[in-house]
Amino acid sequence: MARPHIMFVQTQMIPWSKNFYGNARTDVEFKMLSQDDNDGSSTCVIRYSPGWSRRTPEHLLTHEEFFVLDGAIEINDRLYEKHSYGFLPAGYIRDRTASYDGAVLLTMFYGVPTLGLVATTTTFDPKLLVEYVNPLAMEWDPGLVDPQLSRGVAIKPLRTNPYTGETSFLYSSPPHRTPPGMAKPQWTHPMVEELYTIEGDYVWGDLGRMQRGGYCWWREDIYHGPAGTDTGYNLFVRTINGPLVNTFDTVKKPFSWNPTHQPILPLELAPYGQPLPPTPNY
């Protein structure tokens, strides 16, 4: 198994680390959320300190996908502010990169983050490039949601891989979305679904209350749920090894707003499996 099943961990509980792997981001702090022990791909939260910069051209030998959680980072004179998104394919040249006031990025590397040889020109696959998306300027689209899911949810598409159908998008729900009759089937997927909770609470009937900063690497053919939200939520979602397909069980299971906190975590994340302490809104 390249990456273990993770359902779920609160990123806030993981301490910051230094000495990031590979040679492309050795001077940042990071929180490793999941990593493939075969090809070195990973999902992590990276913190760039104020004044961090690269002033000479560089490119990576692997794809880099990112979503700005906080602050701002500038790449090739384009400013990526909070909630901006990009997918930069292997070989894409960054002439200049800087974060003047600091930034925190949810980052997905599709291999070990290794720098290529110094060059001012190189090749990359333009079909994979998503240079910049500002979700704050987009409308939510409920028509993109699987009709088997509850009404009220909506999507903002970020990218779709033209070769594999893999996709990244934002997924939102209004508050007070309850399974009908407080019961609903569990569901699964034939592909991996990766989730990061940007805001709000996602209540898993079988796992507990995942709050802002909650992270999942939902492996294929493993059932979870039912689920609902009393606060509403905004999620970053990515599929791996294919487009999003939902498969629902035929048996409905009861749902509670106060499920037992019992996340499923690998050994390396087990010490950080505590629930996020509640904070009042007053």
Question: Up-side HSE of residue 130: CA atoms within 13 Å toward CB?
Answer: 21
Name the residue with higher pLDDT: 97 or 142: 97
Q: pLDDT (tens digit, 9 = 90+) per residue, 41-86?
A: 999 999 999 999 999 999 999 999 999 999 999 999 999 999 999 9
Q: pLDDT (tens digit, 9 = 90+) per residue, 184-218?
A: 899 999 999 999 999 999 999 999 999 999 999 99
Give Cα separations from 200 to 94, 125, 166, 239 (angstroms). Answer: 34, 36, 25, 21
Tell me if 239 sits within 8 A of 167, measured CB to CB: yes
Q: What's the number of domains the chain is made of?
A: 2
The pLDDT assigned to 148 comes to: 62
H-helix or E-strand containing 80?
Answer: strand 78-80
Tokens of 192: 């991996």
Q: Average pLDDT over the chain, rounded to whole?
A: 94
User: Which among 133, 163, 180 is the end of a domain?
Assistant: 133
The answer to whether residue 268 sits within a structural domain is no
The answer to whether residue 185 sits within a structural domain is yes
Do residue 152 and residue 247 come from a single domain?
Answer: yes
Give the amino acid at 253.
Answer: K
Do residue 27 and residue 97 come from a single domain?
Answer: yes
List for the chain the helix, strand, coil content (%; round to 5): 5, 45, 50
Tell me if 160 sits within 8 A of 166, measured CB to CB: yes
- 199: domain CATH number is 2.60.120.10
Q: In what order do the strands lie in the sheet with 97-99?
A: 52-54, 97-99, 73-75, 78-80
Q: Which of 22-31, 44-53, 103-112, 146-155 has the lowest mean pLDDT?
A: 146-155
CB neighbour list of residue 22: distance below 8 Å, 6 or more residues apart: 40, 109, 112, 113, 114
Distance CA 164, CA 1 (A): 21
The pLDDT assigned to 20 comes to: 97
Residue 261 pLDDT exceeds 90: yes
Do residue 144 and residue 108 come from a single domain?
Answer: no
User: Which among 113, 133, 153 is the end of a domain?
Assistant: 133
Name the residue with higher pLDDT: 178 or 77: 77
Domain that holds residue 186: 140-262
For the whole prediction, is pTM greater than 0.75?
Answer: yes
The pLDDT assigned to 60 comes to: 96
